[in-house]
Amino acid sequence: MESSRKQLVLVGNGMAGVRAIEHLLKLAPDKYDITIFGAEPHPNYNRIMLSSVLAGGADLSEIVLNDDEWYESHHITLHKGHTVTEIDTRNKVVISDGGILADYDELILATGSNPFMLPIPGADKEGVIAFRDIKDCETMMETSRTYRNAVVIGGGLLGLEAARGLLHLGMNVSVVHIHDYIMERQLDREAALMLQRELEAQGMQFLLKKQSEAILGHKRVKSLLFADGTSADADLIVMAVGIRPNTALAEKSGLSVGRGVLVNDYLETNVPNVYAIGECAEHRGIAYGLVAPLYEQGAVLAKRLAGAETNGYEGSVTSTKLKVSGVDVFSAGRYEEPAGSRALRYQDEIDGVYKKLVIEDDKLIGAVLFGDTADGPQLFSLIKSGESIKGQEKSLLLGLQGGAGMAKASPASRLQAMADDEIICGCNGVSKGAIAQAITEGGCNSVLQIKACTKASASCGGCKPLVEGLLELYAGDSAVQVKEGICGCTSLGRDEIVAEIKRMELKTVKEVMNVLGWNTEEGCSKCRPSLNYYLGMLWPEEYRDEKESRITNERYHANIQKDGTYSVVPRIYGGVTSPAELKKIAEVAEKFDVPMVKFTGGQRLDLLGVQKKDLPKIWEELDMPSGHAYGKTLRTVKTCVGSTFCRFGTQDSIAMGIRLEREFERLNTPAKVKLAVSGCPRNCAEATIKDFGVVAIDGGWELHVGGNGGVHVRATDLLCVVRTEDEVVEWARAFLQYYRENASWNERTSNWVERVGLDSIKEALADPDERTALGERIGTALSVMTDPWKQIVNDKDLRKNFEPIAEEQDRISGGVTA
């Protein structure tokens, strides 16, 4: 029997087009058979979150919006890695470069945009890329492993996000901008200068008023030449100078094209039954590049295709929010002060806060916020509504009381006053109205249900407080505070699990899951490693570590790389080695054809490109302890040369660092731990951004805790000052064991210290008897820990069966990687 459904084809598997399909499936789930063509070999993913992937804040798997199962469950035919090259509008057929033909009754073009590449000499050299998709992210991450100097051309929103990600990857980053201040399309000069100073403090360099002339180098880029004759060294150049609607297919197919594919208020092109949406479309002379307008277009198009009533798309007022390593910036509407307007400003250089409101005819037409962006959504609502703010100007500027009765003291009233079309979740384009509808009509009475229904808070999680506020506002007493456990397999949190393991003396992962009522029989990649750690921490002398409950890197004792090879990092205590040790590493690298040997940031050597089958033999011939570069354990103890050689050194930092590293190597911890010892307050070993840092002073040592030099940079807090090396070790043992016993799995000391508070830690460690007890417990744990590679090196049967064992462990754990 022939299907009565119409054939709908979507060209482009990006955010805008798929969002329209999501709306359509809710409005008319049985009206169309849907086929989607996507040029990338990936399911639909959140392009906005690429900067988070680059900066280490998210994994590629975490930014997928709709996985393969979603397409299958909605009976959508998805052709990944296929680019549509031809549209036969007369016979209503599309053809892909892979030879696939698809008939359509209705066709949506969502081909997005292409990055604009400056047409300068050398732009085709190796190492010159854009920042647009997953492939670009992978190129940046791969380049950072080998090269040092990166140049980003473009000081706009995308360029700054790319620069911050490259900075996180350890590269020297310069941002080149043709204007005299950054983000000139979103910010005024004052806010831009404040932002620049913040980013310079993070390590970013700026080359302003520079016009790129040529890219120099033989095959690969070596430097960027400017029109004024100066140049900048560059091993990688990222062009982030703008985007252009991808209209090639539309032009070829006879569609009307201006800057983008021309559409009316119903997203219809000049060709019947063909629509355009997203960055490729031009509506009323504007081609939008931000997600909120594209999602608004998707909602209108879905109604049109479903046959539902709609007023059409009338254009969007846009806003921009930038969050780079703790720097908050918000911009909406017009900030440039057109003729006849007036601007109100507030600037606090001490707290780093800047606010600017642009007012015309007693209406708010633009706003710029830096440092404190809490009032951004409310100001954006006032800009879009066009209501009078006469008499409220000062209170709006100072944030004492918002417009339309939005009192600062009442979050509920502020949420209630927000317009229904106000975007709550910027990552997924979910409006206040959509969340309200999910609660009042969809029966969602918990944050988890709202997340499942609307995807609000499903990405970065920054909007969760607003979602919780809306739940309280609309659900009232019906709101259910669903306790989120350590994973979806259980509603139990860390403290409850640990308490029950202790109370009932549970001794295996399987036993914990059975007794505590896990929802899944095998657990998952989140709960199995955490249970394995908690059991080992509680019963160090009795518990047998479950290798199958560890992530891939920890099972193979090496870091898996993108090409499937591994990196091996032997331990080099305090960064101090010898000619014999170096010779041994060199000989092993030559024997096993290791493609690259690299110095790490932790003063060690990394053997990159090792085949999995060679791992046991390499460790045997190295005959050196593992540096545990892969594990949730002590990674490195970084040292400066201290008083041994340095004229400024006040203490022997090398000896202290080696002592600490030998003391705590192999120690399992909730998350990776890094230590450092600086021989004087000049702090060359960067001890004040480590989990436990030691800084030598005259007559003693400062002990610092809770630092992090990663994506969310955090300086340490001063724990105490001690006089002797023995006291340094005593406090280090007590602190690390207290952290081991009280932190959640995968919780870095930086997050843990902020959560529990430094004062509570100081109080817990103040009693000498308690420090002694903690030291004894960590001693017990350390006494039963051996270098894990000894087992593989010494057990011939285990070595012989290494490959099948590894494959079976991959199957059990789902191939989890760190």
| Domain coordinates in residue numbering, the chain | 6-113+245-306, 128-241, 494-549, 632-786
Backbone angles phi, psi at 430, to 5 degrees: -95, 125
What pLDDT is attached to residue 814?
39
128-241 and 632-786 in the same fold: no
Residues 349-387 as b/e (b if ≥16 CB within 10 A, e otherwise) read: eeebbbbbbbbeeebbbbbbbbbbbebbbbbbbbbbbee
Report field, pTM of the whole predicted structure over 0.75: no
Nearest alpha-carbon partner for 538 in 565, 580, 500, 590: 500
Beta-carbon contacts of residue 702 (< 8 Å; ≥ 6 apart): 694, 695, 696, 718, 721
Q: 3-class DSSP state for residue 228?
A: coil
The reply to whether 425 sits in an annotated binding site is: no
The reply to whether 684 sits in an annotated binding site is: yes
Q: 3-class DSSP state for residue 486?
A: coil
Mean pLDDT by 10 residues, the chain (818 residues): 82 95 93 96 86 69 83 94 96 95 97 94 96 91 92 93 88 96 90 91 93 95 96 96 95 96 97 97 92 89 95 85 69 86 89 91 92 82 86 82 40 71 74 89 84 74 78 84 72 89 92 88 82 93 83 76 79 89 93 89 87 87 87 92 87 94 93 94 93 94 92 88 96 97 92 93 95 95 74 51 42 37
The reply to whether 524 sits in an annotated binding site is: no
What pLDDT is attached to residue 452?
74
Pairing of β 149-153 and β 236-239: parallel
What pLDDT is attached to residue 613?
85
CATH architecture of the domain with residue range 128-241 = 3-Layer(bba) Sandwich (3.50)
The reply to whether 137 sits in an annotated binding site is: no
* Cα(815)–Cα(812) distance, integer angstroms: 8
CATH code of the region 632-786: 3.30.413.10
Token duo for residue 191:
């806010």
Q: Spell out the alpha helix ranges (H) of 445-484.
A: 447-454, 464-475
CATH code of the region 6-113+245-306: 3.50.50.60
CB atoms within 10 A of CB 656: 24
